[in-house]
Amino acid sequence: MRLPRQPETRLSGWLIVATKTQELKLDIERIGAVSAILVQPAKARACYVLAHGAGAGMRHASMDKIADGLADRGIATFRFNFPYMENKQGRPDQPAVAHATIRAAVADASRLCPGLKLVAGGKSFGGRMTSQAQSKAPLPDVKGLAFLGFPLHADKKPSTERAEHLAHVEIPMLFLQGTRDGLADLGLLKPVIDGLGPRATLHEVAGGDHSFAVLKKSGRTNEEALTEVLDTLAAWIDELA
C-alpha cells in the first residue's frame, strides 16, 4: 500500500470540497495484486465500487471525471484494474477472474470506508461482471448496483442473452443508458428492465452514446450529459435503504 496523497481541496459550485486520494494495492486470492485508487471526500455518505470498461483501465480520463464528480457530490469511489489491464494483456479476463477481483474490491472498500453505504457496478464490461458476481452470490454489504452503460449486446448484434443473469440479482439496480448506445438497443433493454420489476430503474440520457458523449447538434455538451449522469446516480444512491 502506498502512502496517501495529501488531501486535495477544490471548488465545486459554491462548496469547497476536500478529498483524500489513496493509491493502493488490491490483493486477489490465488490471482495476485492489482492497482486500486480510493477517492474519499470529507464527510462522504456512500462509496461506489467502480469497475472499468473492457478497453480502458481505472486511470482513464473518463474514470477520473466520474470519481471527481462523485466526490463533489459527497460519494467516495473505489476503483481498480482487472488483472488483464494491470498486466497489459489484450483480452479481458475470464468471468471467474473478474468476479474474484470484484469481490476483493468490495471487501477492501467495505474495510476502508466503514459505515458508508456501499454500492457497486461500473462502466460497461465492469458493470456486467459486477452483476454476474452478484447473481452468483451476494456481494457482502452492497446495497445496490449501478451500471454506467450496461452492454446488453455486441455492437450491431442485438440480443438479450447478456441480461439473463439479472433475474437472479435481488438488490436495486440503476441502468444509466445513452439513447444512442450501440451496445444496448433500448427496444430490447426496456422490456428486460420492466421484467425485473421495481428493483430496476432505467434513466435514459438523451443523445448519449455508450460513453454518454452527445452530438454537437444536440445543443448540449458532453460535460452537461455527464453532470446529468452523476446527479442521477448520486440521487439514486441517497434513496437506497
Q: Which pLDDT tens digit goes with each residue over 33-90?
A: 999 999 999 999 999 999 999 999 999 999 999 999 999 999 999 999 999 999 999 8
Flag whether 2 is in a domain.
no
Rounded-to-integer distance, Cα 204 and Cα 152, Å: 15
In a domain, 1, yes or no: no
Q: Looking at the predicted structure, is the pLDDT value of residue 211 above 60?
A: yes
Q: Is 3 domain-assigned?
A: no
pTM score, two decimals?
0.92
Q: Is residue 168 part of a domain?
A: yes
- Please give the pLDDT value at position 241: 81
Interaxial angle between packed helices 222-239 and 61-72, expressed in degrees from 0 to 180 and rounded to the nearest 10: 50
**Arithmetic mean of pLDDT over the chain:** 94
What is the residue range of 61's domain? Answer: 8-239
Cα-based torsion angle of the residue sequence 86, 113, 141, 194 in order, rounded to the nearest 10 degrees: -70
Name the band, by pLDDT with cuts 50, 70 and 90, for residue 18. confident
Cβ–Cβ contacts within 10 Å for residue 71, how many?
24
Report if residue 59 sits inside a domain.
yes
Count of domains forming the chain: 1
The confidence band for 2, taking pLDDT boundaries of 50, 70 and 90, is very low
Q: How far is CA 193 from CA 123, 136, 138, 169, 228, in A?
A: 18, 19, 20, 12, 20
Q: Give the pLDDT of residue 60.
A: 97
64 lies in some domain: yes
CB < 8 Å & 24+ apart, contacts of 201-206: 201/172, 201/173, 201/174, 201/175, 201/236, 202/175, 202/177, 203/174, 203/175, 203/176, 203/177, 203/232, 204/177, 204/178, 204/179, 205/176, 205/177, 205/178, 205/179, 205/229, 206/179
3-state DSSP assignment of residue 47 = strand
Q: Is residue 63 part of a domain?
A: yes
The fraction of the chain above a pLDDT of 70, given in percent, is 93
Would you state the pLDDT for residue 8? 56
CA distance 85 to 178: 25
Q: How far is 153 from 132, CA to CA, in rounded Å?
A: 15
CATH of the domain at 225: 3.40.50.1820
- pLDDT recorded at residue 9: 53
% pLDDT > 90, the chain: 92
Amino acid identity at 200:
A
C-alpha cell at 78: 473505489
Give 17's pLDDT tier (boundaries 50, 70, 90). low
